[in-house]
Structure 1
Amino acid sequence: MKKVLANFKLKEPNASSPTLIYLKSYFNYQRFTYSTGRKIHPQYWHEGSQRPITKRLDLIKKEIKTNPGIDLQNELSVIESMIKQGTHENPTFLTEMQNITTELNRYEDEFISSHEYLNRQKEVVTPDKLKVLLDEVFNKQKPADNAVDGFYYRFEEFLQSRMKTNSILTIKKFNTLRTRLQEFEKNNRYKISFESIDLVFYDKFRDFLLTQKNKRTEEVEGLLNDTISKYFSTLKTFMQWSMDRNYHTNNLFQHNQFSAKKRAKNEIVTLTEEELFIIYKLDLSDNPKLERVRDLFCFATFTGQRWSDIEMFRKEDIKGDSWEFISHKTKKLIKIPFKKFIRPALDILTKYDYQLPVISQQKFNDYIKDVGEKAGINEPLEIIRFSGKELIRIKKPKYAFISSHMARRTCITILLEKGIPPTTVMQLSGHSDLKTLMKYENTGPDALADALEKT
């Protein structure tokens, strides 16, 4: 049987403002049109790939890598220029484009799955039947009069509001929670509503997650306790958001038992100062892509800032020999002096004329591991985690643990090892309390002896 195709088209491709994106298909001599609800300005849409221009940029770079002789430089320059323009006009432009791409991929997957489902059921596939199935998946049913019955409808509202401000990875986290809840609801025959989120739900959903396949590590089948804790934390964020808007009155999610058990402090992986400078000085002139990724990582490590704030860096925020800005997450004023350990960050800014390279956090986390491997950061490491009561040993070379989060943790650890008071480090990191700061700290076993030598 020929596979059905999902095509994405703009409602008004010549519009001068954002326009709706439609999913369209043709099968059994029938036309199917379905609104995704997402909008995009036509100038940022690539008709060929049927995705935002950021997706086409990724495809061009991949084609150039696999076929060095292909001439795509002109198109690459045009798209990069448009992305730079979009980012200049809207600091969250890249995140919004990535969010749209993720949503369209999901629409495509669900459309094809729904079509295959109807075929398996020996039903005649019609546009109306497909629409019903997609409406169920994307929660486009009319809202119930009683807000308690509108859990998924309100979740979609919550998600749409967060797409305007949160990163692609955060949006993915919310989407994953919704998918898990729907799988749990189906497998356990437990109806999800605002009222049903109680301690009975907590026990059943936790047990369900402990049976789910773990894609992050081969050492265990079920999800790790830390991952389960994040699911509940994300759910509580939504429940609080919806209660604040009077969509429900159920406060059982605030119960002290409504959380996953976690170790008081998991061991974390950070780079030593020596390893950091090995990466910083690594010659990557033959691979500009990895060079840009390396420079972004080093800038994040020397400054100790969150990815969201680095994404929104502006040249106008440089005041003399400091970077001053309002943190996207905490809304606090942060001042980063370019001195001593932090000084190389200014050199990186100068290298790029104060316009840091643009890359999604997801791609960054993939490529930075390649940088670490090239730098020889391959010390074998073992960390301990738990899945329920089962102890899990995760063994990988150190470069496999490198990510955007490691940059911030490494900075905090190095500054503390240098003897800078924690309260002073908190001014740079933006943390409000010492307990939170110390979750990022990873001083080695010789730290005490080294400190005593300096006294």
Structure 2
Amino acid sequence: MKPYRPKIPTPRYQIINRRPNGQCLIQLRFNINGRRTHFSTSINIETKHWNPKRQRVKQVRGKEDVHRDINQRLERFAEIAQEIFVDYDYGRDLTPELFKEQMAIRCGRIEDPNAKATNLFQFAEQFIKAEQTKPNAKRGTWKKYLTVFNHLREFAAEHGKDTLGFSDIDWQFRNDFINWLYSPPRSHSQNNAAKILAVTKQFMREAEKRGLHSNRIYTQKDFGLRRVKTKGKVRLTFEELEALAELDLTDTPHLERVRDLFLAGCFIGTRFSDWYKVNRENIIEEPEGQLIQILTQKVRNRVVVPVFPVLAGILEKYNYQLPEMDIHTLNRNIKTVCKIALKDSRFQRIYSEGGDTKAEIVKKWERVSSHAARRSFASNFWEAGIPAALLMQITGHTTEKQFFEYIDVSKEQAARQFAKMALEVLKKRE
């Protein structure tokens, strides 16, 4: 017995938008599961030339060729509409919205988002859209991809190209692209250029996995760019944090709240987005003291942090509800606070600009931000002898390599710390 198949609807046409000059627009009308759906043909004709009975343009002397072409186009619109109906299980899987989208795609008005990409730009656009629509999509991830895609498009445009093919990603591209990233007005650091090139390689790798190309030049040794060791982030020592805590800010309560929130962050150890999860409900009472449990926002990990005396005092001061402010307000005002308390504190900033590594001595208050709190926590407690493995449970770093690149510890400090711990081990063996 043959399966039941609904009757294929007959496309109809109507004229709309009649204008004073006698022109009108031809619109296709199609019935989908009892719902009337319209699609513009974008064909304009003179109203008097339309034959509503035949649903076609009349043959008018002097316009035979033009009207014949219009009628052929209307035939094709009707064929496409019926093809879509059949392709979607005789309308069972078809909605008016999907019908309109498919009409636009098959008529060449828009690109098919699911079509097989034929170049790097088409694939990157599809890849980014897929990342954006994931149920657990993270803005930081897809925004990174979009930023790199924009760099690639700008690079191609300046080199007279509308797009980049998969075969264009070779050593010549690699060298030209890096030089372009280094050159003004971009003047990217070597580390930033390395990240951009790494994402470009990721686009190529993902496209290759989907069978879109066979160009493997991007996998060759040294095609990527090595990162250089820099030191551009501020860290405050325990002594400097004490100076902040002792600062009398009673006459400027808004700065007092900024100082207190920043100090709390220096003893919580997590990212700024997790500071406000510290409240009475998340306090665990233990015989050894209080602990805070936090479900981190970025990686959704549960971390447990001891409530140190400085943090305990701040929590009690604000009734276990830290001062509320956005990160921009904190970053702007903590500079003012540190300028008062630490005006003479300086550090050596090592940075990369346009591919060159440079160094300068800068004042800490000029560079301090909310991020300095987490870095200070990790650096200070590691110097105090807390093992990296324990600190990583709080800071969220997944490898010791990441952790030691993050903290502000010189080779000399690391050697002194090693000597101190080694002596303690040797004493226990005596």
Question: Take 1:251 and 1:317, find their aligned partners in 2: how far apart are those partners?
Answer: 52
Matched, 1:198 2:198: no
Matched, 1:329 2:294: no
Matched, 1:183 2:154: yes
Question: Take 1:368 and 1:249, find their aligned partners in 2: how far apart are those partners?
Answer: 51
Of 280, 284, 291, 2:256 maps to: 291
Matched, 1:364 2:348: no
Which structure 2 residues correspond to residues 359-398 of structure 1 after superposition, within 5 A? Answer: 359-387=325-353, 390-398=356-364
Q: CA deviation at 1:414?
A: 0.9
Matched, 1:213 2:178: no
Given that 2:166 and 2:204 are in contact with CA atoms closer than 8 Å, whether structure 1 keeps it comes out as no
Which position in structure 1 is the counterpart of 2:44? none
The letter of the residue matching 1:343 is P
Given that 1:282 and 1:375 are in contact with CA atoms closer than 8 Å, whether structure 2 keeps it comes out as yes
Which position in structure 2 is the counterpart of 1:146? 116
Per-residue CA distance 1:185-224 (angstroms, 9 max, x = gap): 221234445836834443332211101336xxxxxxx222
Q: CA deviation at 1:251?
A: 8.7
Question: Take 1:162 and 1:207, find their aligned partners in 2: how far apart are those partners?
Answer: 38
Question: Take 1:416 and 1:248, find their aligned partners in 2: how far apart are those partners?
Answer: 48
Q: CA deviation at 1:323?
A: 1.0
Question: Take 1:141 and 1:260, find their aligned partners in 2: how far apart are those partners?
Answer: 37
Of 336, 359, 372, 1:406 maps to: 372
Question: Take 1:311 and 1:401, find their aligned partners in 2: how far apart are those partners?
Answer: 24
The letter of the residue matching 2:294 is F
Given that 2:208 and 2:214 are in contact with CA atoms closer than 8 Å, whether structure 1 keeps it comes out as no
Given that 1:361 and 1:404 are in contact with CA atoms closer than 8 Å, whether structure 2 keeps it comes out as yes
Of 178, 185, 190, 1:225 maps to: 190
Larger radius of gyration: 2
Q: CA deviation at 1:345?
A: 1.9
Per-residue CA distance 1:425-450 (angstroms, 9 max, x = gap): 22332322221111123236467558
Given that 2:230 and 2:350 are in contact with CA atoms closer than 8 Å, whether structure 1 keeps it comes out as no
The letter of the residue matching 1:274 is E
Question: Take 2:176 and 2:318, find their aligned partners in 1: how far apart are those partners?
Answer: 52
Q: CA deviation at 1:273?
A: 0.8
Matched, 1:428 2:394: yes
CA-atom RMSD, angstroms?
3.8
Of 128, 131, 139, 1:158 maps to: 131
Which structure 2 residues correspond to residues 12-411 of structure 1 after superposition, within 5 A? Answer: 142-144=111-113, 145-148=115-118, 149-152=122-125, 154-156=127-129, 158-159=131-132, 165-166=138-139, 176-192=147-163, 195=166, 198-200=169-171, 201-213=173-185, 222-233=187-198, 257-264=222-229, 266=231, 269-310=234-275, 312-313=277-278, 315-320=280-285, 321-338=290-307, 342-387=308-353, 390-411=356-377
Q: CA deviation at 1:256?
A: 5.5
Given that 2:182 and 2:355 are in contact with CA atoms closer than 8 Å, whether structure 1 keeps it comes out as no
| Residue 179 to residue 420, structure 1, CA distance change in 2 (3 Å) | same
Given that 2:124 and 2:149 are in contact with CA atoms closer than 8 Å, whether structure 1 keeps it comes out as no
Report the secondary structure of 1:443's partner residue.
Answer: coil
Structure 1 unmatched runs, 5+ = 1-139, 215-221
Q: CA deviation at 1:274?
A: 0.7
Per-residue CA distance 1:101-138 (angstroms, 9 max, x = gap): xxxxxxxxxxxxxxxxxxxxxxxxxxxxxxxxxxxxxx
| Residue 211 to residue 388, structure 1, CA distance change in 2 (3 Å) | closer
Question: Take 1:356 and 1:298, find their aligned partners in 2: how far apart are those partners?
Answer: 11
Q: CA deviation at 1:305?
A: 0.9
Q: CA deviation at 1:265?
A: 6.1
Q: CA deviation at 1:369?
A: 1.8
| Residue 203 to residue 440, structure 1, CA distance change in 2 (3 Å) | same
Given that 1:162 and 1:171 are in contact with CA atoms closer than 8 Å, whether structure 2 keeps it comes out as no
Report the secondary structure of 1:203's partner residue.
Answer: helix
Report the secondary structure of 1:356's partner residue.
Answer: coil
Report the secondary structure of 2:406's partner residue.
Answer: coil
Given that 2:128 and 2:142 are in contact with CA atoms closer than 8 Å, whether structure 1 keeps it comes out as no
Question: Take 2:325 and 2:212, find their aligned partners in 1: how far apart are those partners?
Answer: 39
Deviates more, 1:373-382 or 1:268-277: 373-382
Q: CA deviation at 1:335?
A: 0.9
Q: CA deviation at 1:244?
A: 11
Q: CA deviation at 1:304?
A: 1.3
Given that 1:147 and 1:248 are in contact with CA atoms closer than 8 Å, whether structure 2 keeps it comes out as yes
| Residue 373 to residue 265, structure 1, CA distance change in 2 (3 Å) | closer
Report the secondary structure of 1:260's partner residue.
Answer: coil
Question: Take 2:260 and 2:165, find their aligned partners in 1: how far apart are those partners?
Answer: 46
Equivalenced residues, count: 303
Q: CA deviation at 1:247?
A: 9.9
Given that 1:369 and 1:400 are in contact with CA atoms closer than 8 Å, whether structure 2 keeps it comes out as yes
Q: CA deviation at 1:408?
A: 1.4
Report the secondary structure of 2:166's partner residue.
Answer: coil
Which position in structure 2 is the counterpart of 1:441? 407
Q: CA deviation at 1:238?
A: 6.8
Percent identity at matched positions? Answer: 26
Q: CA deviation at 1:280?
A: 2.6
Question: Take 1:431 and 1:213, find their aligned partners in 2: how far apart are those partners?
Answer: 34
